Chains A and B, each alone.
Chain A
Amino acid sequence: MLKTVNLSKIFRTDEVETTALNKVSFEINKGEFVAIMGPSGCGKSTLLNILGLLDNPTEGEYYFLGREVSGFTEKQRANTRKQNIGFVFQNFNLIDELNVYENVELPLIYLGLSSSERKRRVESALEQMQIMHRRKHFPLQLSGGQQQRVAVARAVVANPHLILADEPTGNLDSAHGEEVMNLLASLNQNGTTIIMVTHSQRDAEYAQRIIRLFDGQVINENIKAGKVEPGTL
């Protein structure tokens, strides 16, 4: 599915140079559920952004679906992204001015699908996320859990190969968090590759593998989340 080789990201301002990622190499296979963990500022989100083709690395290689994409232009990235990757954010990032249905529909519009096709897919995604009854509501009228379900629906509606989730339960109480994690797990069972950044050990339990980052480097790659000693974080 994807593979990174010596991936580095350095942020430069006039005075400071910060190495967010330092020669990160790993591989993720199709159908995997991988959690990326690490303390604040370790480079988790930077890594997720590069993996999600929202950003380019400073150095290193990134193979996505067999193609080296680290040198892609913004336009190429946008094209690859909208066909293959779905995103779920901690703060949902729903568009307040659009209702549930329209939010979920948005990626399909950018894909250029016909309105009947969009309707079919949006309704199926909403059914799947059990949020169909709220389709006319606006984000601000929904609970956090419901908003995140909409966000997940939006992430899956275009049938992406990969879903990137950035602390998807960070803004949710435990019950709603669990609900969202179950949704992600079932998507994974249906074959979607999922990469999730999280602080939560509980959420990480859902993954098959954990990649631990510290100061921009991979310090540990476990196949089974359960094998990690609690307390090392």
Chain B
Amino acid sequence: MFANYLKTALRSLMRQKNYALINLAGLSFGIAAFILIMLYVQHELKFDDHLSKRDRIFRVVEIQNEPGVGEQHVAITMGPLAQAMLSDFPQVKNAVRLMSAFNVTAVSYGEKSFREDHLYYADPSVIDMFDITFIYGDPATALKEPRSVILSEKTAVKYFGDATKATGSNLLFDKTSFTVTGVMEDQPETTHFFFDMLMPIATAEALPGFEWMKGWGSNSLVTYVELDRTSSAEEVNRGFDDFLKRHVFSQPDGWQYLEMYLQPLNEVYLKSGHIKFQNVSAMGDASMVNVFIVISVLILLIACVNFINISIARSVKRSREVGMRKVLGAGRGSLIVQFISESAIITLASVLIAIGIVELALPELNKMLGTSFSINFVSNPLFNVGLLFLFILISLVSGSYPAFYLSRLHPIAVLRGISGRSGTGKGLLSKFLVVFQFIISVGLLLAVFVIHDQVNFIRNKDLGIQYVNRLYVGFGESGYEKIRVIKQELMQHPAIQQVSGCSYVNGVAGSQGPVFVDDSANTKLYVRYGFVDDDFFSTMDVQFTDGRNFNGLQSGDINRAVIVNQATVNALGWDNALGRKFVFPQSADSSGKAEIIGVVKDYHYYSLRSPIEPAVWIWQPERFKGVVIKYAGSGKKDEIRSFIESRWASVYPGLPVQIMEAPNYLTQNYKGDQTTFTLFIYFTMVSLLLSCLGLFGLTSLLIEQRTRVIGIRKVMGGTVSQITVHLVKDYLLLVFIAGIIALPAGYILLQKQLDEFAYHITINVIHLIVPVVLALLIAFLTIVFKAYKAANANPVIALKYE
């Protein structure tokens, strides 16, 4: 019996090759898009999966609510927290602190010298909590001694050429020697916390200038805790009130408002968008994952709808066969099985083709996302199961309508040539499905246009700071003398116009903390700190709204004068900020005060997603981390770069130089958005293509079936253009209806998405009109050729045909 179905299916496909191709192509691309998206989704969901204790590990998150910044969730905590939690909470079995070794500029071994991005201080218990597997060395002692370091295998090879030689060797961290005590397996790509090198955190605590690590006042490191099997995070969360009272609120000048909670490790990667100061190497976005899941399902639906629609249209031709099979005694069941088997055959072929498409597309996708996705049938059992499930699901979904519809046909009606046109019902379903497809396509098009404009808006928005034609070079060694030397050296080049020392290219240090206003109430305000010299604001074209810039070296502005942004003035409700004073522990003034000398216009030092927070700039050379260099746009970049490199080497010998194009800082900020958007465009194109493919197949079939009507119209005197219009009109109306439905829904969803940006465009009429017009145009082009051809055919042939 099945052989018979198979034969019929294959031969029926071969007889109508065009439609078989449309079905195959549609389903293949639909499934390929689905697989690609699912690989991405699987990758996102797999984060931190490798940790055996992941269900019991939590990250401590603080809720701060300080004047100036409002309520904020913060993932960095105080130095003593881990130990205090271990002793106060019986539920806490293990606690680990991790802190970026931001004080280390370069690591060297002999001639080799690198800047390391994934270098951390950690408590020794990190080995147990994060399942660190040692290749060489003893896990029990590796992080016991100060100035010891464990390396990932990859890093060990990088420095020593051979991982076996690493243990026992010494590495130079800037000027301090550390002994390699172990080599660990490389961390997987899918970890939110990627480390290449680990050093005992006690080493950092012992460093001069790191005393704050011992107090409860400063947040600078991440604390992870592991609970025992029987305890829940809620129990610990309930205990935080008393805990904070005991340890934090009792401190003089400490936090006034603070809460803590445990965030499950499983949520750290995908559900931390609301958390600031995340010391993580990768961050995902659960809502983006959801958006892509929805898109993939929609694309798959479009592909299935194509299949169903073409099957329905072809049912006129197939109905005679069905009628005859029924006359010969076929039951409904066997017919249903027959048609489902047919769709299964096509689906199977499509799945195979789709895997081929995915293999071809993966290298490009991996390049774009910086991932290494691959189809692996062996090591990814979920993929196999998913594929099988997908195959069954599509076979059933695509096959069910034709199966149930055709098997219901009455054999007499069919055999008498009345064919299966049971009134308007079937036509309505096809139309409904076409409308459905174009709702999706118009909606996605709308999204593309709106997101495109938003991306452009962000790119071109006047940030209040100019990054174009600026370079940033970071250095590790402080010491203002050298900074002054390098500034002078760099200025020698004719194309270099200005050089300024600063804490970072955007002017702020990344840290946030309180300043106290010198008033009777000692008003406290939370601000971003920035450390810059007198050249920074002019170098970066940041405008002053009031007061003055820092004056020269002799003016006494160093550590005594403060420049604030407009947001600070607004937050404090001042009319005039000039002359007011902050109390600054680090101030050079004997009274500990620093005077506000200028106000700069608010500029975006972070992404447009977040509003501009109050910021305070002090000329504090020892906090500088690099220089920004403004050069003439006409200058030769390569030549400027090599000039910088040579001068750098003379001032900072042995320190690898790392030059960053300042605009890249911005691109980095929006890199996630940009990638998402590009993916989004691709998948929108796939969906539009599939919709049109389906429309083409459907209209071709329906027009073929209407040749008799077309013939009659021509005989009655209809012109080619009249008939073409007549044929095209109906379908364009469907696309138009789809547009009318898609726009309000798309508008609401997109508005919600835009609201996530502190600064965003408004959706306008053009955004709404263009997708509909475009969809109409594409649909028109899809069907007009076929319609024209049909209208142009000889009516005699047409009339004979049926």
Contacts and interface: CB of A to CB of B under 8 A. Distances in A.
Interface centre among B8, B323, B334, B411 (most CB of A within 10 A): B411
B320 interface: yes
B415 A89 contact: yes
A87 interface: yes
A106 B327 CA distance: 11
A78 interface: yes
A98 B7 contact: yes
A87 B412 CA distance: 12
Contacts of A5: none
Nearest to B11: A97
Interface centre among A54, A97, A102, A154 (most CB of B within 10 A): A97
Interface in B207-264: none
A106 B4 contact: yes
Contact of B324 (A79, A81, A93): A93
A107 interface: yes
Nearest to B9: A97
A198 interface: no
Interface residues of B, number: 26
A206 B660 CA distance: 100
A95 B416 CA distance: 15
Interface in B719-755: none
A128 interface: no
A95 B338 CA distance: 14
A8 interface: no
A110 B1 CA distance: 8
Given A97-B7, A106-B4, A75 B327 contact: no
A97 B328 contact: no
Contacts of A94: 324
Interface in B10-62: 11-12, 15
Contacts of B8: 95, 97-98
A111 interface: yes
B659 interface: no
Contacts of B331: 75, 78
A55 interface: yes
A204 to B, nearest CB: 22
A96 B324 contact: no
A91 B323 CA distance: 13
Interface in A80-112: 81-83, 87, 89, 91, 93-98, 102, 105-107, 109-111
Contacts of B328: 82, 87, 106-107, 110, 154
Contacts of A95: 8, 320-321, 324-325
A49 B323 CA distance: 13
B228 to A, nearest CB: 64
A45 interface: yes
Given A54-B412, A96-B15, A109-B1, A102 B7 contact: yes
Q: Which secondary structure dominates chain A's binding surface?
A: helix
B417 A91 contact: yes
Contacts of A93: 320, 323-324, 327, 415
Interface size class of A (residues with CB under 8 A): 20 to 34
B330 interface: yes
A83 B328 CA distance: 9
A110 B412 contact: no
B630 interface: no
Nearest to B417: A91
Contacts of B7: 97-98, 102
Nearest to A83: B329
Interface string B317-357: 00011011111111110100000000000000000000000
Contacts of A83: 329
Contacts of A98: 4, 7-8, 11
A49 B412 contact: yes
B412 A107 contact: no
A87 B330 CA distance: 14
B15 A97 contact: yes
A89 B414 CA distance: 12
B97 to A, nearest CB: 72
A40 B317 CA distance: 26
Contact of A82 (B11, B321, B329): B329
Given A81-B329, A87-B327, A98-B7, A110 B321 contact: no
Contact of A54 (B12, B15, B332, B411): B411
A83 B329 CA distance: 8
Given A97-B7, A102-B4, A45 B416 contact: yes
Given A75-B331, A81-B329, A102-B4, 18 more contacts: A45-B416, A49-B412, A54-B327, A78-B329, A78-B331, A95-B8, A97-B7, A97-B8, A97-B11, A97-B12, A97-B15, A98-B4, A98-B7, A102-B7, A106-B4, A106-B328, A107-B328, A110-B328
Interface of B: 1, 4, 7-8, 11-12, 15, 320-321, 323-332, 334, 410-412, 415-417
13 contacts: A52-B327, A79-B329, A82-B328, A95-B324, A95-B325, A96-B321, A97-B12, A97-B15, A97-B321, A102-B7, A110-B328, A110-B330, A110-B334
Interface of A: 45, 49, 52, 54-55, 74-75, 78-79, 81-83, 87, 89, 91, 93-98, 102, 105-107, 109-111, 154
